[in-house]
A and B are shown apart, each in its own frame.
Chain A
Amino acid sequence: MNKAIITVMGLDHTGIVAGISSVLADFGVNILDITQTIMGDMFVMVVLVDVTPLDDLSPLVEKLSKEAEKLKVKVSLEREEIFRAMHRI
C-alpha cells in the first residue's frame, strides 16, 4: 500500500474537512486516519491516505492546492516514507 500524509493548516472555519475530503473522494483516495487539533487560533488537520490507485500524484496535488486556495488554508502532501526516514530509527 502506498500511503501519503496530507497536512492542512489555516484559520479555523466551517467546511475545511468537507472540502478536502470531497477532493479525496473524487480521486478515489481512501482516508485511513485523520486527526485534527487547534493550535492557538490555527486549525491543523493531518490525514493519512491510501494513494495506491494513483500512478501520478500531480493531478491530486494540483486539485488540493486549488481547494486550499478556496478554503483559505495551506495544504501539503508528502508520501509517508519521508516521515519514517526522518522520525524513526
Chain B
Amino acid sequence: MLFTTEEILETIRMVQIERLDIRTITLGLDLLDLRRETVRETAFSISEKLKGVTRDFLDIIKKVELEYGIPIVNKRVAITPVSLLISSKDEKDYLYLAKELDKTAEEIGLDFIGGYTTFLEYEISESDKAFLKAIPCILNETNRLCASIVVASTRGGINVDAIKEVSYIILETAKLKTNPVTCAKLIVMCNPPPDNPFMAGAFHGIKRGEKILDVGISGPGTVRAALERLPKDSSLIDVAEEIKRVAFKITRAGEFIGKEIAKRLNINFGSVDISLAPTPEEEDSVGKIMERIGLEFIGAPGSTAILFLVNDAIKRGGFMASSSVGGLSGTFIPVSEDKSIAEAVSCGALTLEKLEALTNVCSVGLDMIPIPGDVDPYTLMGIILDEMAIGVMANKTTAVRILPVPGGKPGEWVELGGLLGKAPIISVNSFSCRGVFERGGRIPPPISSFRN
C-alpha cells in the first residue's frame, strides 16, 4: 500500500470528524477592460463577463469536492475595486452597478461577490462621497455583495476624516432596516492584501492578472483535536510543534485542491490563505484551542501570548507546506462566529480592549462584534482609529467589522444566523474622543515605513 492505514485514517478523521474544509474558493477577476461610457453599459459588460467566466466554475468545484472528499464551503468571486470601474458623483450609479453585480452573483449561484471597494487613506474624492453615500442602501437591498473601505496604510498614514465618514455610514447601514447583519458585509481596512479570499474584504488586486484562483483553508477543529491528543503536561514547545504539523497537512490539502481546480478551469493558481477561521460549531473554535492550551477563557491574562504562539506555529507549518501562502494568513477571532469567543465576552473574560490587544499578534482585527446601536458616533470612530493605528504601525493588515444593534443593550445576545453565529452585545468605553475628530485631517505615516 502507498500509505499506511494510520495516514489514511488521519485524513478521513480530519475531514469527517474534525471538520477540515476548504473554507473558500475565490476567483479573482480583472474588469478594468470593461469600463464603458455609461454605468449601464459597464454593468452589462461586467455581468456578461462574469457569467461567461464562471460557466464551469461551480460544476468543477462540485466534481473536485466529490473526488477528493473534502468539503468546499464557499464559492466566491472577487472583482477589481468598483471605485476603479466607475467614477460618478451620483450615488444612484453606484446603487445600479451594485444591484446588477448582486443579481449576477445570484444567477450564477455564488455565495458572495467582493469588490465594492475604495481606497481613502490619502483623500476622499467627490466620487468617493457618492460611493460611500450609496452603501447603506446597497447593503440593505442586496444579499451577496461585500463592501470594503480602506482608510489607512503604512505608507499613506491614517485618514481621520475618512474614518469619520465611514463610521456614520456603518451606523446608518445598521439603522436603515434595523438589521445589524447588513454590517457583516462591510469592512474597514488598513493594508488590505490584494489576494484575500475571505469576505467581506476580498477584491481583485491591481495587475494580479486577468483571472486567478485563491483558496482559503480552515481547520480550527483539526488543531484543537491534535492538541487534545497531546498529553496535558506537554510543554509549550510541544504545543507549537503539534500545531505546526497540523498546519502543514491542512495547507498541503488546501493548496492541492486549489491547484487542481485552477488546472481544470485552465487559469493560474494564486495563493492559499492559511488563516484559522472558526465556525459556530462547538468544536471548530479558535477559543477552544486557546482553552485547551491552558486558558480558562480567551481574554484571560496570557491570551495575547498564546494567540501569538498559535498564529506563528500555523505560519511555520503553512510556509513549509506551500510557496504560495498569501491573503490574510492569520488567526481569525470573530466574536459571533466562534462559540467559545462569544461565551468569553458574555462572562466578562473578554473585553473590546482585550480584543484590540489580540489583534496585535494575529491578523484581521475587530471582527463580527455587536455593539449597542445608540453608541456615540465618535466612540465608534475612536475604536476604528485605534485599530487602524495598530495596522499602520505594525505594517500588517487590520480591519474593523462591527455590528451596531439598534435598540440593543450590552449583554443582550444577538442571533445573526447560520455561519455568522450569535454573540452578546459588547460594552464600549464611552469616554469621548470627539476633540480628535473635530480637528480632522490625517495622521502621517510612521517614520519606519520609509525604508529607502
Is A80 a contact partner of B2 (Cβ separation < 8 A)? yes
Interface footprint category on A: 20 to 34
Binds A, one of B247-255, B276-284, B341-349, B431-439: B247-255
Is A78 a contact partner of B2 (Cβ separation < 8 A)? no
Is B38 located at the chain interface by the 8 A CB criterion? no
A83 in complex: contacting residue of B2, B16, B66, B257, CB < 8 Å: B2
Known contacts A48-B2, A57-B67; A83 and B256 CB within 8 A of each other: no
Is A37 located at the chain interface by the 8 A CB criterion? yes
Apart from A56-B63, A82-B253, A83-B11, list 7 A-B contacts with CB within 8 A.
A7-B8, A7-B9, A44-B5, A46-B8, A48-B2, A81-B68, A82-B256
- Look across to chain B and name the residue whose beta carbon is closest to the beta carbon of A83: B3
Question: Shortest Cβ distance from A1 into chain B, in angstroms?
Answer: 12
| Prevailing SS type, chain B contact patch | helix
The docked-state distance in angstroms from the alpha carbon of A46 to that of B4 is: 9
Contact flags (1/0) for B235-255 with A, using CB distance below 8 Å? 000000000000001001101
Q: Which residues of B contact A86 (CB under 8 A)?
A: 7, 11, 249, 252-253, 256
- Look across to chain B and name the residue whose beta carbon is closest to the beta carbon of A80: B2
Question: Shortest Cβ distance from A15 into chain B, in angstroms?
Answer: 21
Is A73 located at the chain interface by the 8 A CB criterion? no
- Look across to chain B and name the residue whose beta carbon is closest to the beta carbon of A57: B67
Q: List 17 A-B contacts (CB under 8 A).
A: A7-B12, A33-B1, A33-B2, A48-B1, A76-B16, A78-B68, A79-B68, A81-B68, A82-B68, A82-B70, A82-B256, A83-B11, A84-B2, A85-B255, A86-B7, A86-B252, A87-B249
Is A77 located at the chain interface by the 8 A CB criterion? yes
The docked-state distance in angstroms from the alpha carbon of A61 to that of B383 is: 51
Is B9 a contact partner of A44 (Cβ separation < 8 A)? yes
- Look across to chain A and name the residue whose beta carbon is closest to the beta carbon of B68: A82
Q: Which residues of B contact A57 (CB under 8 A)?
A: 66-67
Is B440 located at the chain interface by the 8 A CB criterion? no
